[in-house]
Amino acid sequence: MTSAAFDLVLRNAVLATASDTYRADLGVRHGRIAQIGLDLPAGRQEIDVGGRVVTPGGIDAHCHLDQPMAPPVRLADDFLTGTRSAACGGTTTIIPFAAQQKGATLQAAIDDYHRRAHGKACVDYGFHLILTDPTPAVLDDELPRLIAAGYTSFKLYMTYESLRLSDRQILDVLDAVRRHGGMPMIHAENADCIAWLTERLEAAGRLAPRFHGWSRPALVEREGAHRAIAMAELVDVPVLLVHISGGQAVDQIREARAAGLNINAETCPQYLFLTAEDLGIDDSYHGARCVCSPPPRDAASQQQIWQGLADGLFQVFSSDHSPFNLHGEDGKTPGGAEVAFRHIPNGIPGIETRMPLLYSEGVLGGRISLNKFVELTSTGPARAYGLYPRKGTLAVGADADLVVWDERDFVLDNAHLHHAVDYTPYAGRRLRAWPGLTLLRGQVVWDGQTFTGTPGGGQFLPRGLPSLFPIGARAPGHRTWLQAALAS
């Protein structure tokens, strides 16, 4: 092997995957990991990381960028600012959402999102599909074609009037998934319970941001999770329940797992680092900054989420980055006015802080292992969404997406961040780590001080089928409820 065999060599690294941690050098050629070993030959470029931890680049599999909104509201981040922010926080792959408009095709949504990302995305990306109108033509013709083309995950909403599907529609989508593969993601909350509570709170004049939490108690997530699990069991297909916020939904997932069902789960930083008190302890508008759904819960729920991260309940840790400015007519004060809680744009920023928060409080705080951190932030999402092993691990042949971690104490401020949002809900929190380097396919896109990536340098990623679990029957000879009934 000649001295020019590698484009880049990382030396003296502590490499961490979802299963192993070891000291080695890592050689990169043509954007991929070419060799891992001791005392590798010199490369054209050399970076001595001095014994620091190196993990695979993060995969944020749940984020919203440049998603169409009803005026005057709009998301603060487009594909340029959002992916720039992602790179500076150690994330090298994102999967945002292409939302079908009712009466339109899925292909129209995909075409629109390719236009939005083109020339702007600074990290690699794929698209989840949001199904709002699962007609027979969509399910029988369009969806199979798009799955084969690499759009292999789809989000189904049980809430929000413009997005929600009926149980019957969800069953139809799950049946299509059983036949063609893919990963259905379900936002599980009971919409009728939320609407009933909201109307009664409004009638009583309870309009402040803190009542957003009161309108979406844990039981509406528990019921939604239970119903989603029951439908998945009926059709006999795996599902992934997104942004799980607390113990009642956790209990539903544990019970389903104990029964042998393929129920997977995701959670987010807001359920570890925020509580209902962040929505407000009085009727001031300050709590609007933390309005998201499901809402943050309490300290006991935080502990249950931490436990689920440690013991394998969760496979995916995402940001659910949904960035609205706190000030101005297009954000949390629509039209420039303070509004009742139901009208506050729903979501918080977090694409850049996701990995540093979990590394600081999870790994360095002794709550989870370094390997579990890699599993949750990179390997699990790669397996869930058909990107493994190209993404999500440190292995020969994988993309050289790498994060070199600096372990240092500092107090987070929004001025540190690279999104286009005017606040972070985590301001004032003391962190213990931040990426010192982020590399996308062997190129440094964050040098610890400055974003060095290129707008348009991110590549679109057609994805395969999920590899977290086998698709279809749980055991040889297993039949769905319907198959058993038809055979009787």
Count the residues in the chain: 488
CA 218 to chain centre: 21
| Burial class (CB within 10 angstroms; exposed 0-12, middle 13-18, buried 19+) of 480 | middle
Q: Is residue 123 domain-resident?
A: yes
- Cα-only R_g, the chain: 22
Distance CA 96, CA 89 (A): 17
Low-confidence residues of the chain: pLDDT under 70? 1-4, 469-479
**377 and 317 in contact (C-beta within 8 Å)?**
yes
Q: Is residue 149 domain-resident?
A: yes
Residue for token digits 């060599």? 9
* Cβ partners under 8 Å of residue 248, min gap 6: 218, 219, 221, 222, 225
Q: What is the pLDDT of residue 1?
A: 45
Cα 294–380–187 angle (5° rounding)? 25
Q: What is the pLDDT of residue 480?
A: 73
β-sheet bridge partners, residue 435: 405
Q: Is residue 357 domain-resident?
A: yes
Q: What is the pLDDT of residue 445?
A: 98
Domain residue limits at 387: 1-472
Residue for token digits 């994805």? 463
Instruction: Write out the two tokens for 284.
Output: 């001031």
Distance CA 120, CA 103 (A): 29
Q: What is the pLDDT of residue 471?
A: 42
Domain with 77 in it: what CATH number?
Answer: 3.20.20.140
* CA atoms 28, 29, 34, 38: torsion sign: negative
Domain total for the chain? 1
The dihedrals phi and psi of 140, each to the nearest 5 degrees, come to: -90, -30
Q: Is residue 441 domain-resident?
A: yes
| Burial class (CB within 10 angstroms; exposed 0-12, middle 13-18, buried 19+) of 38 | exposed
User: How many Cα neighbours within 13 Å face the side chain of 430?
Assistant: 4
Q: What is the DSSP letter of 379?
A: I
pTM to 2 decimal places: 0.96
β-sheet bridge partners, residue 35: 27
Q: Is residue 486 domain-resident?
A: no
Q: Is residue 388 domain-resident?
A: yes
Q: Is residue 285 domain-resident?
A: yes
The dihedrals phi and psi of 104, each to the nearest 5 degrees, come to: -110, 175
Q: Is residue 119 domain-resident?
A: yes
